[in-house]
Amino acid sequence: MNKTVGIAIRAALVVAILGLTYALVQSIMEPINFQKERKQREDKVVEQLKDIRVVERAFKSEFGRYAGSFDTLANFYKNGTVTVELQIGSLDDSLAVALKQVIRKKEKVAVSEAFPIKTPADSLAIVPGCNGATFELAAGTLITSSKVPVPVFECKVHNDVVLQDLDRQLVVNLNDERKKLDRYPGLKVGSLSEATNDAGNWEQ
């Protein structure tokens, strides 16, 4: 073997080793990067789902039911009012209580004033960071085991939407894990099939 061939072989081995090292590092870092990006995206979605829940609860406080469309929610938040109870005087002030100077009265105030949220009302339906994708929203009435009708709503978005441009196999694996646990493969607040007190599945 001449010197030139030996140098070429050694160079090829170095390149191969570097390539294998890079591939190994990537295989280790890919799941780590996936989890980091997933958390960042989910945190943003959760914050918006919390805002949606705030507006839904405000709507229910006024109408006794939940809204089943984002158009209704947005219009209510921008233009609607809710009834709030105001208290004049303090119940800790025994003299004021004795003199009946503690007064409670109900007033109508703007929804946006009584229930501040971070998300613009017209953007409630838009899943943050997902190229204009929208949440799924529905509302209805659940009949409990004791035959009591309970207003319910559900707002959700699938992992395939939130994590749409990330490693497909890792997303599939995540969805499979959720399904094996009989849990929704994504993020959602409320439920149409059970009374959850409007809990989000990230809280359960």
Predicted confidence (pLDDT) per residue in 56-87, tens digit: 999 999 999 999 999 999 999 999 999 877 66
Tokens 């140098």, located at residue: 7
Overall pTM surpassing 0.85 (yes/no): no
78 is written with which tokens? Answer: 């921008």
CA-to-CA distance for 110 and 141, rounded, in angstroms?
Answer: 27
pLDDT in tens, 71-130: 999 999 999 999 877 666 565 666 655 666 656 777 888 999 999 999 999 999 999 999
CA-to-CA distance for 161 and 155, rounded, in angstroms?
Answer: 14
CB atoms within 10 A of CB 159: 20
Which residue ranges make up each domain of the chain?
Answer: 3-29+37-190
